[in-house]
Amino acid sequence: MRAAGEERTTDMVWSGSWVTERLGVELIGDGRPDGDRELRELLGLALRRNPKRAHLLVSNVLGKHVPQKPSVVYGAGFELGRRVRALLGEAEARRAVVLGYAETATGLGHAVADGLGVAPYLHSTRRPVDGVARAGGFEESHSHATSHLLLPEDPALLAGGRGDGEAPGAVADAPDAVAEQSSAVADAPLVLVDDEFSTGNTVLNTIRALHERYPRGRYVVVALVDMRSPADRVRLAAFAAEIGARVDLVARCSGTVTLPDGVLEKGRALVAAQEQAGSGGREAESPGLEAESSGPEADSLHRDSDSPGPAAGSLGPKSDSPGPEADSPGPAAVVGTERRTCTRVDLRWPAGVPDGGRHGFTPAHRAALERALPAMADRVAAALGGARRVLVLGFEELMYAPLRLAAALEERTDAETRYSTTTRSPVLAVDDPGYAIRSRLVFPAHDNPADGPGDRYAYNVAGAGFDAVVVTVDSAADTPELHAPDGLLARLAAHTDRVLLAVVPSYVPSYARPCTPAHALDPHVFDPGAPDSYVPDSPDPYVSDPHVSERQEPPTVLPEPLRGPAFSSYAPDEVGWLLQDLSHVELEAPVEEREEAIQSGGAHYAESLPVEYQPSDQYQSLFKAALELSAARVARAVGTVTETVLAERTPRPVLVSLVRAGTPVGILMRRWARHRHGLDLPHYAVSIVRGRGIDANALRWLAAHHDPADVVFVDGWTGKGAITRELTEALAEFDGTKGPEEAEGVVRAGGSGGFDPEIAVLADPGGCVRTYGTREDFLIPSACLNSTVSGLVSRTVLRSDLVGPDEFHGAKFYRELADSDVSGHFLDTVTACFDEVADAVDAEVAALPAADRTPTWEGWAAVERISEEHGIHDVNLVKPGVGETTRVLLRRVPWKILARRGAGADLDHIRLLARQRGVPIEEVDELPYTCVGLIHPKYTRGATGANGRAVEPK
């Protein structure tokens, strides 16, 4: 199949030449005579704001960043599916299951599944769905949004069962071939589909995660382009041998990317220079789209993608003749500022057919959709009127439904039809024919995303000459933000004659409880700029849909916090624990036994507790010596972070520490505020569990008793930044649920229920936050011990048989360890140093406004490098910093310790623990942390991944 624009290669500037000329990034083919040309026809280059990769490979046939003929986009994936079918053979192809990657490859993977013939399809997602259990997860380390979730409606889909029987509402007369495949088949081949295969890390992470829980004998990796280095190819072969499975690769085109030294720094500087040269608005780096056309006047068409043209009230020329291929944006239409309307098109989406593969898409679903597509395309065509150049614009992970709709429209009308989708990925736009991203539209997220509010983008749409745009979203994204004056519909209305909105019902498994936006039930024509265009009589933006169950109301009565001495050895005014007491439950297990259970996928790390390490007399003496040595240093960091919070966040903060490393820090911050300012700050401790989020009931209690805007979350230190990310995602997910406002009169502010996800930490060696006491990696003595320095409280526990839906997470109070308790001694020793560090704190706080405290995530980058250098290839095995290394030695099965050469007394306790457990310490140069702990691969290769469970095999 010809790549986009192949017939015009000699007349066009390659859309990667701008980046190549300035950064030296080059695409080199696979050595075949036409290899270079084919690669350049398939890909262009752009720059992006990403600390891990400066460049972006922009596909001309993916339908994400570059508007393209839908038949070309669908055909590219379908043909790859045919090649996989030939590779597997008919019998194996009929047993295969296809898994696509969010967000970019969701549509591509679906087309590959169609090419296979009868393969069920599932894609990963970054959108948690209430009531749907996670069947797995993995990390995409180079991405701007790393965590992927797997949410199949039928877990048998990943376990080898096909799960392709008829779904509720699907037609009963599916082809016989579908019915023949309905029985579960063990060890079915798994086909993994991504848009590009660059290093192989994402695929390795995925296969590790899935093979641990659902082992099978064969995997097929599919991509449009294979750009791996020789070393990456060797690594994949070794990995396949290690797990005892066959791993094949199918790609449309292959080659390599050459990156000169310093390209990341040069890329950042180039992006900064382009942004500075821009217009200075939200889209300052996108000065417009210089439309490429066959006429000599093309270079004179220049327009900012965020503003209407200079001729207010007038419309530019329409394209009445077949335009260029999609990689050429086409003539620009100058759109006036008059108010425009958006017409809602009722697709009459077939009942029971999912909007995509988030929860699985079966051959029965496919058969029902095929029959419904012509009529849906006719309804869209009728609403288009006389439009000649049409864009069907999909939405982030929703790629397949709008693609198939666009392809049907292309077949059934004479309109020149193109297809692309919006995206989460921020990319620099440059108005140059040699650059792949010519313009961009920026608009707010409109689907209540789990990672909170933020900008979203549509590329190469502004100025592309479309006289109609059909926006296709799922009903979860049909929100007031979509229709707001600065929303996507309004942005598009400034650049096209007509905007249509087609809403596909968001499919949610029957056991979950969805709700539908009120305006999604209203099919009338509406104005995207008018705030009163929604259903007027509903005080809540969500109303009950008669076709779904009403949402479950949250608990209206929550228990009061636990306090010492009944729970914990801290004084009752020091902290209130938003936990339940599970001291009566036997939860401890030996470290090795616990790790093996986690590794097998049979247990989440928060479902049990490690046996509390009881330090020897030698270790206790070492702790006391370390405390005397570092108490002033800790006090200084406490003072700096507390003063920063008071100056920049709120004068009356409500401190909420994350159990348990954050709780001593929260108490010390409370003591500093009283000592220096006479403030008596509330302080609570809450549970947060990696992969499961923060305790939502604790958040509801806080919202009922305090202004969420005053809440400041506190932790001890950052490592990679996993908890920082977890908190952001958890608060965003909480914002999408309804708290007890109706019952308790709570009025929550916007964004994450009014809670600020920015965490305050004592030490930030990972460069993950803006509010910290120091960014040095030093010994915080509270990291040396477990419960005996944390009020005799255990780690938190979250287990369904112990924690009900209306209850706080649990923890244990180890009263029997009172003789070893040094919690008060630690606090008092640090507090005694407050006066001596006061002047230093004042000087540091005075210098903060001029300091650049932007999170750099340098820790994450360092962990990735260490993971690769030591042959681990999984960041979850690497625990950076003194605090995390101590945890590895106290709670886990350590492999070895990396220590910065000449680290000194900060590592005395690490050296002692390592000797006691027989763990080698390697001194290394240029280590960004004082030390790094590596978990032993025998027990935890993959340790706990995106969902808190094991993700690698032994």
How far CA 406 is from CA of 68, 71, 499, in Å, comes to 10, 8, 15
Paired strand residues for 576: 684
Structure tokens at 200: 């192989």
**CA pair distance 733, 449, nearest whole angstrom:** 7
Give 783's Cβ-side CA count (13 Å radius): 29
Model pLDDT, residue 353: 93
Report DSSP letters for 607-641, one per residue: GSEEPPP---HHHHHHHHHHHHHHHHHHHHHHHHH
**CA pair distance 761, 640, nearest whole angstrom:** 10
| Contact yes or no for 110/273 (Cβ under 8 A) | no
Paired strand residues for 250: 222
Model pLDDT, residue 494: 94
- Examine the pLDDT at 9 and tell me if it is beyond 70: no
Model pLDDT, residue 536: 28
Residue labelled with tokens 């004056």:
485
Model pLDDT, residue 512: 62
Residue 359 confidence class, pLDDT cut points 50, 70, 90: very high
Report DSSP letters for 523-575, one per residue: -S-B-TT-TT-S-TT-SSSEE--TTSPPPPPPPS--PPPB-TTTSSSS-TTT-
Structure tokens at 16: 């990667």
Report DSSP letters for 452-488, one per residue: -S-EEEEES-TTS--SEEEEEEEGGG-SHHHHSTTSH
Q: Find, among 612, 614, 619, 607, the residue nearest to 590 by Cα.
A: 612
Strand order in the sheet with 246-258: 26-29, 246-258, 218-226, 190-197, 97-100, 121-123
Mean of pLDDT values over 835-850: 92
Mean residue pLDDT of the chain comes to: 78
Residue 409 confidence class, pLDDT cut points 50, 70, 90: very high
Model pLDDT, residue 11: 54
Residue 168 confidence class, pLDDT cut points 50, 70, 90: very low
Model pLDDT, residue 140: 54
- Examine the pLDDT at 592 and tell me if it is beyond 80: no
Torsion angle, alpha carbons of 400, 406, 411, 412, to 10: 130
Mean of pLDDT values over 681-702: 89
Model pLDDT, residue 121: 96
Residue labelled with tokens 């990679």:
720
Q: Would you say how long the chain is, in residues?
A: 954
Range with the lowest mean pLDDT among 19-33, 50-64, 348-362, 506-520? 506-520
More confidently predicted of 87 and 903: 87
Nearby residues of 361 by Cβ (< 8 Å), 6 or more positions away: 110, 113, 120, 121, 122, 354, 400
- Examine the pLDDT at 641 and tell me if it is beyond 80: yes
Residue 744 confidence class, pLDDT cut points 50, 70, 90: very low
Q: What is the largest CA-CA distance in the chain?
A: 87
Model pLDDT, residue 828: 96
Burial grade of 590 (CB within 10 A; 0-12, 13-18, 19 or more): exposed
- Examine the pLDDT at 751 and tell me if it is beyond 70: no
More confidently predicted of 654 and 305: 654
Structure tokens at 373: 């597509």
More confidently predicted of 67 and 540: 67
Q: Is 754 left (phi over 0), alpha (psi -120 to 50) or beta?
A: left
Residue 727 confidence class, pLDDT cut points 50, 70, 90: confident
Q: Find, among 288, 322, 96, the residue nearest to 188 by Cα.
A: 96
Residue 139 confidence class, pLDDT cut points 50, 70, 90: low
Mean of pLDDT values over 1-29: 72
- What is the distance, to the nearest Å, from the Cα of residue 596 to the centroid of all Cα atoms in its chain? 28
Residue type, 650: T
Model pLDDT, residue 496: 95
Q: Are strands 147-150 and 136-139 parallel, antiparallel or unpaired?
A: antiparallel
| Contact yes or no for 758/771 (Cβ under 8 A) | yes
Nearby residues of 155 by Cβ (< 8 Å), 6 or more positions away: 135
Structure tokens at 759: 């965490």
Which 8-state DSSP code applies to residue 736? T
Paired strand residues for 97: 190
Q: Are strands 810-811 and 580-581 parallel, antiparallel or unpaired?
A: parallel
Give 694's Cβ-side CA count (13 Å radius): 32
Model pLDDT, residue 324: 32
Model pLDDT, residue 315: 25
**CA pair distance 487, 477, nearest whole angstrom:** 12
- What is the distance, to the nearest Å, from the Cα of residue 450 to the centroid of all Cα atoms in its chain? 8
Paired strand residues for 47: 55
Mean of pLDDT values over 255-271: 88
Model pLDDT, residue 469: 97
| Contact yes or no for 578/808 (Cβ under 8 A) | yes
Residue 605 confidence class, pLDDT cut points 50, 70, 90: low
Structure tokens at 382: 């009728």
Torsion angle, alpha carbons of 4, 6, 7, 8, to 10: 90
432 by DSSP, 3-state: which?
coil
- Work out the percent of the chain whose per-residue pLDDT is above 90: 43
Range with the lowest mean pLDDT among 280-284, 434-438, 548-552, 717-721? 548-552
How many Cβ atoms sit within 10 Å of the Cβ of residue 525?
Answer: 12
Model pLDDT, residue 557: 60
235 by DSSP, 3-state: which?
helix
| Contact yes or no for 43/16 (Cβ under 8 A) | yes
Highest average pLDDT, of 130-144, 676-690, 921-935, comes from 676-690
| Contact yes or no for 472/405 (Cβ under 8 A) | yes
Model pLDDT, residue 671: 96
**CA pair distance 367, 177, nearest whole angstrom:** 11
Model pLDDT, residue 220: 97
Q: How far apart are the first and last CA of the chain?
A: 43
**CA pair distance 188, 340, nearest whole angstrom:** 52
Model pLDDT, residue 340: 57
Mean of pLDDT values over 812-823: 91
Highest average pLDDT, of 190-204, 603-617, 738-752, comes from 190-204
Mean of pLDDT values over 315-324: 31
Model pLDDT, residue 537: 30
**CA pair distance 250, 225, nearest whole angstrom:** 9
- Examine the pLDDT at 96 and tell me if it is beyond 80: yes
How far CA 734 is from CA of 604, 697, 703, in Å, comes to 21, 10, 11
Paired strand residues for 440: 459
Paired strand residues for 345: 502
Model pLDDT, residue 137: 63
C-alpha torsion sign, points 735, 490, 396, 398 = positive
**CA pair distance 861, 615, nearest whole angstrom:** 34
Report DSSP letters for 755-799, one per residue: -----EEEE-TT---SEEEE------GGGS-SGGGTTTB---B--
Highest average pLDDT, of 116-130, 288-302, 863-877, comes from 116-130
- Examine the pLDDT at 276 and tell me if it is beyond 90: no
**CA pair distance 264, 33, nearest whole angstrom:** 31
| Contact yes or no for 549/656 (Cβ under 8 A) | no
| Contact yes or no for 100/150 (Cβ under 8 A) | no
How far CA 839 is from CA of 112, 309, 676, 780, 836, in Å, comes to 65, 57, 12, 21, 7
| Contact yes or no for 588/612 (Cβ under 8 A) | yes
Model pLDDT, residue 876: 73
- Examine the pLDDT at 473 and tell me if it is beyond 60: yes
Q: Are strands 342-345 and 499-504 parallel, antiparallel or unpaired?
A: parallel
Structure tokens at 588: 């401890």
**CA pair distance 369, 170, nearest whole angstrom:** 9
Residue 806 confidence class, pLDDT cut points 50, 70, 90: confident
Model pLDDT, residue 311: 27
Model pLDDT, residue 520: 34
Model pLDDT, residue 901: 87
Model pLDDT, residue 591: 52
- Examine the pLDDT at 377 and tell me if it is beyond 80: yes
Residue type, 937: P
Report DSSP letters for 826-866, one per residue: HHHHHHTTHHHHHHHHHHHHHHGGGS------HHHHHHHHH
**CA pair distance 824, 126, nearest whole angstrom:** 43
Model pLDDT, residue 21: 94
Burial grade of 7 (CB within 10 A; 0-12, 13-18, 19 or more): exposed
Torsion angle, alpha carbons of 253, 256, 262, 263, to 10: -20
